[in-house]
Amino acid sequence: MQRYKPGSELVPGIVSIPAYGHTPGHCAFALQSQRQSMLVMSDTVRNPYLFARHPDWQPTFDMDGPRAVQARRRMLDRAAADRMLVSAYHFPFPACGHLIRAGTGYELVPVMWSPRP
């Protein structure tokens, strides 16, 4: 195990993003490979159908609600503006998609999944 500083590049193409609020020291990760990018939001947006649609909600499992809202808004804004593929630990299958602005929140548009190898 090796510690890292939030906001640092861990290896080429993987940058940690401070996302404090859910828990102290909570981080997300931005992945970049050539022209493709992905934002792994960890627990910042636990359920896209609740907390992407209503990013200002403060569930009890966020230890610092106001700070979690700031992190969530910052991450959702970035993912939508940069058209990043997104994923998070508790997203339903297929657990990846893109975010689009919808009213005061966002909607997850899941990627299509195919069982072919």
Identify the structural domains of the chain with CATH numbers, from first to last.
Answer: 9-110 (3.60.15.10)
CA distance 77 to 108: 13
Q: Per-residue pLDDT averaged across 71-76, rounded?
A: 96
Q: Per-residue pLDDT averaged across 87-107, rounded?
A: 93
115 pLDDT higher than 90:
no
**Mean pLDDT of all residues in the chain?**
93
116 pLDDT higher than 90:
no
- Confidence (pTM): 0.89
Smallest Cα–Cα separation from 106: which of 60, 39, 50?
Answer: 50
CA distance 58 to 50: 11
Helices H, strands E: what count in the chain? 1, 7
Q: Per-residue pLDDT averaged across 81-97, rounded?
A: 93
